[in-house]
Chains A and B, each alone.
Chain A
Amino acid sequence: MADETGTTENTIMIVEDNEDVAYLLKFMLEREGFNVLAAEDGRQATALIVGEEPPDLVLLDIMIPFVNGFQLLEKIKNTSGWQDVPVVMLSSKSQEGDVVRALENGAEDYIIKPFQADELLARLKSILKKANK
């Protein structure tokens, strides 16, 4: 599953309720050779966390229906096998308190929307590279 270069063979789970943004992220990541697992709300994401093998990275929106991103982050960090999966938050919530809360709860990085596509890819690759070592 893991690849040291952080480019191919890695699986990234996207949790994003905005259909267009989810499509864009999936498109970008698949183009770079990643396998993509997508959930459009907190319930679907929870089902994946409980029933699926952990991915190599989770890209997590905060304001999603049913279970919010902070709660999902906590769930990931408390689920056996998922604790070490790096989580990157991607949200339009830009307040310092939200960023600090996410990082304190174990998120690897916090990217604010609107995001720069190339920068997002570079950050994800860098995190995966570190995690795959």
Chain B
Amino acid sequence: METAELAAFSASMFHFAMWAMIIIIALTIIVFLQIIGIHAFRIIKKHYSDRFLDVCRPVVMEYIVGKSNELPRVRRVHLYEFLLFWNNLNDSLRGDARDRLISLGYALKLNKVAARMLKKSNIRRRFMAVATLGHMRDDSSWNDLKTGLTDKNSYLSFASARAMVLIDAPRAMKHLIPSMTSRSDWASFNMSGILKAAGPEAISAPLADAALSADAEDSLSLLKYIDLIDYSSAKRVIIELLKSAVVEEVISACLKSLRDPEALHLVRRYAMHDCWFIRVQAAAALGRIGTEDDKYRLIEMLSDKEWWVRYRAAKALDKMPFISLEEVRSIQADHPDRFSRDVLEQAIAEGALT
């Protein structure tokens, strides 16, 4: 390469490096300013939001304790903050104060605001709208809430379920049951909370009927909530399924929830089942509802080839009200099998701790 060419190449490389550096510095400054801008925006927003709440909170409090009928002034820009505050109070209160809070909501036409908000695409606003409609017990948006049940966003669909239960629990159950079986993203713990809030009167019959008519997989999903329904409905479901079910998991779930001695003959039958986890639940059920005759059945189960069956049988023997600790000790001493004696020792020790 000639000297002149080399100098030209060096000069162009220098220019390229210089411009690259300028662009990088400019981009860094832009990002930095953006961060400062976002931060400043948040601070200003929080400042105005706090100022709004400082003015609005005492007015709402006076209203809900029944000392004033003055309504808070809520400008459009503060609607979201107000709904957040209003819904938060709704979750924490019951009785007269909550009734007044709802009447305040109607006076401010929050149901109309929420119905409009529900049509927006912003998920945060839709979520707020659903919660508001539920707390207001406003059924004019029932169909929108029903559609919300199938939303791909778990939180939104779950909030829709909760809102529907708050508005009309018996009517909501018809729509909720299919979702309870199909939505694997709904946590059963949270669903239990909704069902508890709905109350056994609203949920017992529809849940029992659905559990009996569903296929094994759906039935199993619904059996998770069997303890929340009234005793007679639960008993009907469990006994019917114990008589007819063939899927092992369903039988096991039924035995786990069984509390009624009417099904004792079925439990005794399942105590000899080929499936070990059915025998586990049968042993536990015998401990809860078994008679003195079942003592010998449980002693036999202490020699089961599966440890869990032996353990449950030992726990059941230890818990049976008509068997004293001395008798359990004597069963242990007389038992020819070393593993049975060991598991009884563990059950006795655990029993002494509780």
Stretch at the interface among B94-102, B113-121, B287-295: B94-102
User: Is B89 located at the chain interface by the 8 A CB criterion?
Assistant: yes
Residues of B within 8 Å of A, CB-based: how many? 16
Cβ 8 A contact of A115, one of B58, B64, B65, B93: B93
Cβ 8 A contact of B88, one of A21, A118, A119: A21
User: Is B45 located at the chain interface by the 8 A CB criterion?
Assistant: no
User: Is A85 located at the chain interface by the 8 A CB criterion?
Assistant: no
Closest to B98 in A: A114
- A117 and B88 contact, Cβ closer than 8 Å, known pairs A23-B57, A31-B65: no
Provide the bound-state CA to CA distance between A119 and B95, in Å.
9
**Are A24 and B95 in touch, CB under 8 angstroms?**
no
A33 to chain B, nearest CB (A): 14
Counting chain A CB atoms within 10 Å of each CB, the highest count among B92, B94, B95, B97 belongs to B92
Interface residues in B47-78 by Cβ distance below 8 A to A read: 57-58, 61, 64-65
Q: Which residues of B contact A117 (CB under 8 A)?
A: 64-65, 93, 95-97
**Are A18 and B92 in touch, CB under 8 angstroms?**
yes
Q: Which residues of A contact B274 (CB under 8 A)?
A: none
User: Is B85 located at the chain interface by the 8 A CB criterion?
Assistant: yes
- A115 and B94 contact, Cβ closer than 8 Å, known pairs A23-B57, A24-B61, A31-B65: yes
Residues of A within 8 Å of B, CB-based: how many? 15
Cβ 8 A contact of B93, one of A23, A27, A31, A114: A114
- Binding site of A, secondary structure by majority: helix, strand, loop or mixed? helix
**Cβ proximity bits A18-32 to B, threshold 8 Å, 1 near / 0 not:** 101101100110010
Cβ 8 A contact of A20, one of B88, B94, B96, B97: B88
B196 to chain A, nearest CB (A): 9
A57 to chain B, nearest CB (A): 19
Q: Which residues of A contact B334 (CB under 8 A)?
A: none
User: Is A113 located at the chain interface by the 8 A CB criterion?
Assistant: yes
A52 to chain B, nearest CB (A): 26
**Are A27 and B94 in touch, CB under 8 angstroms?**
no
User: Is B91 located at the chain interface by the 8 A CB criterion?
Assistant: yes
Cβ 8 A contact of B92, one of A24, A27, A31, A118: A24
Jot down 11 A-B pairs with beta carbons below 8 A, ordered by A: A18-B88, A18-B92, A20-B57, A24-B89, A28-B61, A113-B92, A114-B91, A114-B92, A115-B93, A117-B95, A119-B95
Chain A residues engaging chain B, CB cutoff 8 angstroms: 18, 20-21, 23-24, 27-28, 31, 113-119
Chain B residues engaging chain A, CB cutoff 8 angstroms: 57-58, 61, 64-65, 85, 88-89, 91-98
- Beyond A27-B61, A115-B94, A116-B97, 8 extra complex contacts between A and B, CB < 8 Å: A18-B92, A21-B89, A24-B92, A27-B58, A31-B65, A117-B65, A118-B96, A118-B97
